[in-house]
Structure 1
Amino acid sequence: MPERPYVIDTLISAKSIAARIEELGRDIRTEFADTDKLIVVGLLRGSFVFIADLVRELDLPVEVDFLEASSYGDGMETSREVRILKDLRGAIEGRDVLVVEDIVDTGFTLAHVTRLLLSRKPAKLRTIALLDKPSRREVDIRADWIGFEIPDEFVVGYGIDFAQRNRNLPFIGKVRFTDA
């Protein structure tokens, strides 16, 4: 894919992200206070930075697992076809589960993953997304916890990529193409 020139403007600072994750951690600790073990399921690849910071805020017995689902490839638009590229290693039946998503856009991925995991009969299943773009929603789903609601902008950073670039930025930035 030929790369269009772009710049990244800060949308959410690293400091704001850290403060919000601390708040979310408190809410999740309260929700799962009685759990014997919380299975935190990160949706790869975009959630890996978020999940690392989030689990450090959870003073709970935590097990981390990952599921990789794809509906984007290297593009900027969803294909609306969700494929599971990597499944969980462990069973979740009868367990408390928290699904961690980087961004809820159209909602197809979160809806598909939620249905899949609910079919495995967890005791409790909750969802959290760092970012939410409700203006793009095509499926009736909302995460139980949202870090930030954002406008319909293409964003990168804090684990979120554009064609496998910019995941390492410590902030969330919006992509602005400079060839327009």
Structure 2
Amino acid sequence: MPEFILLISEQEIKKQLKKIGQKISIDYKDKDLVLIGVLKGSFVFLADLTRQISIDHEIDFLGASSYSGTSSTGQIVFTKQPDLKLENRDILLVEDIMDTGNTLLKITEFIKKSNPKSIKICALIDKHERREVKIAVDYSCFSLEKGFIVGYGLDYDEKYRNLPAIYDLKL
């Protein structure tokens, strides 16, 4: 039976979302902001984040996967591409967790082909334990050193996304 160790409560998540939403609203004032959620893990975070951003913006999604169980396969598979025109627009990639960095590096390279005005990254969790590439996280709600994290959109083999807080999963 898996064990769930609480790392970040619902209340802490809501507090950080408000702060990040305010900062994004200030930083992107008078810009053409498009939030691109990286599926599937970002959907809960993105839904709550968009409601904390007070400026006009659009939302799109990009599907990318590199995980099997608790390990990255090293191979990024794009399962959905954005529908919106991204050229000359300010793109904020919204990700559930920055782990190895490989997936977001490939996504950033892919989005650059659309000639956006700018690309920045917003991650719910910036985790450093397995970082393999140097890539900047411009906005992060939480920074963690290690653990396999589930809840609030983060999963283990498609399970536990529905948990309202963030937990370290012990198998």
**Class of the TM-score when normalised by the shorter of the 2 chains:** over 0.9
1:63-99 CA-partner distances (Å, limit 9, x unpaired): 11000000003x1100111111111112100111111
Of Structure 1 and Structure 2, which has the larger fraction of its residues in strand? 2
| Counterpart among 123, 147, 152 of residue 129 in structure 1 | 123
Moved over 2 A (4+): none
Aligned counterpart, 1:48: 43
Which runs of structure 2 are paired with 1:106-121 in the superposition (5 Å)?
106-121=100-115
Aligned counterpart, 1:22: 18
Distance, in Å, in 2 between the alignment partners of 1:149 and 1:95 is 28
- Say which one has the larger Rg: 1
- Give yes or no for the alignment of 1:8 onto 2:4: yes
Deviation for aligned residue 1:173: 0.5
How many residues get paired? 171
Deviation for aligned residue 1:126: 1.2
For structure 2, list consecutive stretches of 5 or more residues without a partner in the other structure.
none
SS at match of 2:129: helix
Taking structure 1 as the reference length, the TM-score comes to 0.92
| Counterpart among 43, 67, 72 of residue 62 in structure 2 | 67
Which runs of structure 2 are paired with 1:24-173 in the superposition (5 Å)?
24-35=20-31, 37-73=32-68, 75-173=69-167
Deviation for aligned residue 1:120: 1.1
SS at match of 1:82: strand
Taking structure 2 as the reference length, the TM-score comes to 0.97
CA RMSD of aligned residues (A): 1.0
For structure 1, list consecutive stretches of 5 or more residues without a partner in the other structure.
none
Between the aligned residues of both structures, percent identity stands at 39
